[in-house]
Amino acid sequence: MLTRIAVLVSGGGTNLQAIIDAQKSGIIKNGEIVAVISNNSGAYALERAKKAGIDTYTVLKKDCASQAEFEGKLVDILEKCGVQLIVLAGFMSILSENFTSKYDKRIINVHPSLIPSFCGKGYYGLKVHEAALEYGVKVTGATVHFVNEIPDGGEIILQKSVAIKKGDTPEILQKRVMEQAEWKILPRAVELVSAGIRKEK
């Protein structure tokens, strides 16, 4: 049986699309996406999931009285779907230690820098690329890592570097890091971890 995957999203879902495409093309052969969960009802990622025939769910923080209730609703969906691996693909919500410890080595995230550079609290989206350009680094990239209670603090699974070019803006750099690094290493990491989970069974 394939490893059952849930992808948690908040926005456009380009990384979700990379995983869907990798599943179709056979790069991911040990796992299958069984659920896409968003904390934003307007996320285009939900449309991408529907087009691919994947079940979608929405859990809004504003409808929950606490972080515990929010995470409880996520857990209910994950358990209902028999999920074994959680992929955070642009999921703009920090998860508590209660949640991450429940799914130890079962949650992976992609971050748009070479951790330990430009990561941790407050570093997300364009802010990461703005910081890299401001600092003047010549090389950046992306990292896929396991998720624990420390933002961007879990064990690294894969990294890929991307050159910074003269005249780069945060937007141009963001696009290059996505195309050359994130969309390549996230599907590969999903396959690696999925294969590992299947071996454990």
Which residues touch 35 (CB under 8 Å, ≥6 apart)? 6, 7, 54, 55, 56, 57, 77, 78, 81, 83
Burial of 97: CB neighbours in 10 Å, binned 0-12, 13-18, 19+: exposed
pTM of structure = 0.95
What ranges do the domains of the chain cover?
3-200
pLDDT tens for the chain, residues 1 to 201: 999 999 999 999 999 999 999 999 999 999 999 999 999 999 999 999 999 999 999 999 999 999 999 999 999 999 999 999 999 999 998 899 999 999 999 999 999 999 999 999 889 999 999 999 999 999 999 999 999 989 899 999 999 999 999 999 999 999 999 999 999 999 999 999 999 999 986
Letter for the amino acid at 113? S
Superfamily of domain covering 3-200 = Formyl transferase, N-terminal domain (3.40.50.170)
Enumerate the active-site residues: 111
Q: Can you count the helices (H) and strands (E) in the chain? A: 7, 7
